[in-house]
Amino acid sequence: MSASPSGKPSRVGDTPLVRRTLITLVLLVGAVLVLAPLIVIFAQAFSLGVGAFAATIAEPDTRHAIMLTVIVALIAVPVNTAFGLAAAWAVTKFDFPGKRLLIVIIEIPFSISPVVAGVAYLFVYGLQGVFGPALADANIQILFALPGIVLASMFVTAPFVARELIPLMQAQGRDLEEAATSLGASGWRTFWSVTLPNIRWALLYGVVLCNARVMGEFGAVSVVSGNIRGQTNTLPLHIELLYHDYQTAGAFAAASILTVLALVTIVAKVLLERQGAGRRSRVSVAAPVLLAEGQRP
């Protein structure tokens, strides 16, 4: 490898021509694959004017789809947050038989198609499924109703919080928790005063990603919801129905809501990464001492 004028080994891309070429290619690909679709979405959404856009959003089926999507997120995200915290705590703070199996189980939703997951729920909770007859006898409806949509959304988003927390908590180790416990702190006190402050940014990052995926999930929800207009259609499913009904402007108007959500998620992601970058290496060594003194760190 040749040396640069400063005496340091030259790297690939050090020459102005290569660097400018790579940057230009990245900008072109980003413009074609990302920026152009975003522009088209908002252009089509307002193609008939602001009044038509507002009328589409105020239409009862669209409002119901938005409300159902929000309700599903309000249920699925907190449950998956608690699951992610518990799973990350178990994996990183304890040694037990089946630890590797637990990690594999957490990863399963990443490797299975959401449509396959939805079909699996049909064979478990459907009328011809494992629990279907018992649920029917008890007059409990899982599929083609809110519970089925929530279960499918929880399945596809289960790994997000756990996968953000596990690497961070493994890197932090167990020293602080063990010190706090040796000083008499209870498990809950150790979690709230020692563990949580050191993982809060990764936790929020995982929650943001989980929420975005819940609101945008299509495959698994399309199988278990039944696509009943005005009843079991979430916003992504409602967009598809509007498009198939040749209501292009309405479909793009509804799609613009998910696009805004995606942009907000990106902004939140960047902000959380900046906050976390400045704090991930700052572990409060004084926490166990403060716990022993009955104070919060």
Q: How confident is the model at residue 11 (pLDDT cuts 50, 70, 90)?
A: low
Backbone angles phi, psi at 30, to 5 degrees: -65, -40
Torsion, CA 186, CA 167, CA 216, CA 55, rounded to 10: 70
Q: How confident is the model at residue 20 (pLDDT cuts 50, 70, 90)?
A: confident
Which range, 43-52, 156-165, 271-280, has the best average confidence (pLDDT)?
156-165
Residue 76 class from Cβ within 10 Å (0-12 exposed, 13-18 middle, 19+ buried)?
A: buried
Q: What is the pTM of this model?
A: 0.80
Q: Which two tokens stand for residue 64?
A: 């119901």
- Give which of 244, 253, 216 is closest to 43, Cα–Cα: 253
Q: How confident is the model at residue 237 (pLDDT cuts 50, 70, 90)?
A: very high
Q: Is the pLDDT of residue 136 over 90?
A: no
Q: Is the pLDDT of residue 289 over 50?
A: no
What's the pLDDT tens digit per position in 64-118? 999 999 999 999 999 999 999 999 988 888 888 888 888 888 889 988 889 999 9
- Give which of 223, 252, 255, 253 is closest to 236, Cα–Cα: 255
Q: Which residues lie below 8 Å from residue 89, measured CB to CB, with a gap of 6+?
A: 169, 191, 195
Output the pLDDT for position 192.
83
Output the pLDDT for position 201.
85
Q: If you average pLDDT over residues 16-44, what whole number do you get?
A: 86
